[in-house]
Amino acid sequence: MNINISHLSVLNKIEEEIRQARLAEKSSTMKQHIYTVRTLCDMLLAASDKPGMGAGLSEAQPIEPRVVQPAQPALNQSEKLQTDDGANGDSIFDF
């Protein structure tokens, strides 16, 4: 699966990660940002090494928004579950 991402947006993200690394107070936080920079650089280099991929990174394609319909609840939460042994079903320990 190929995802076309603008090389400019990746470079902007690299710059943002470098700024965050400079502002980091902890060494571990700084290393996380530097690792992200390295990963983004590797991604750009790998994409430009593959034939036909260099052009794909130069222009981003618009993404169509997806319409997600919320799932319907299985049962009404205000109604208590009635069981034949007298348990009300509110506890996970009702057997």
If you write DSSP's letter for every residue of 31-93 in order, what string do you get? HHHHHHHHHHHHHHHHHHHSTTHHHHHHSPPPPPPPP-PPPPPSS-TTSPPP-TTS--S-STT
Q: Say what percent of the chain tops pLDDT 90.
A: 35
**What's the N-to-C CA distance of the chain in angstroms?**
48
Provide CB contacts within 8 A for 2, sequence distance 6+.
53, 56
**Does residue 69 form part of some domain?**
no
| pLDDT grade for 4, boundaries at 50, 70 and 90 | confident
In the chain, the number of structural domains is 1
Measured between alpha carbons, how far is 36 from 21 in angstroms, rounded to an integer?
10
**Does residue 84 form part of some domain?**
no
Full-prediction pTM beyond 0.85?
no
pLDDT at 12: 94
**Does residue 88 form part of some domain?**
no
Q: What residue numbers bound the domain in which 15 lies?
A: 7-53
Q: What is the mean pLDDT of the chain?
A: 74
Given a cut of 80, is residue 34 above it in pLDDT? Answer: yes
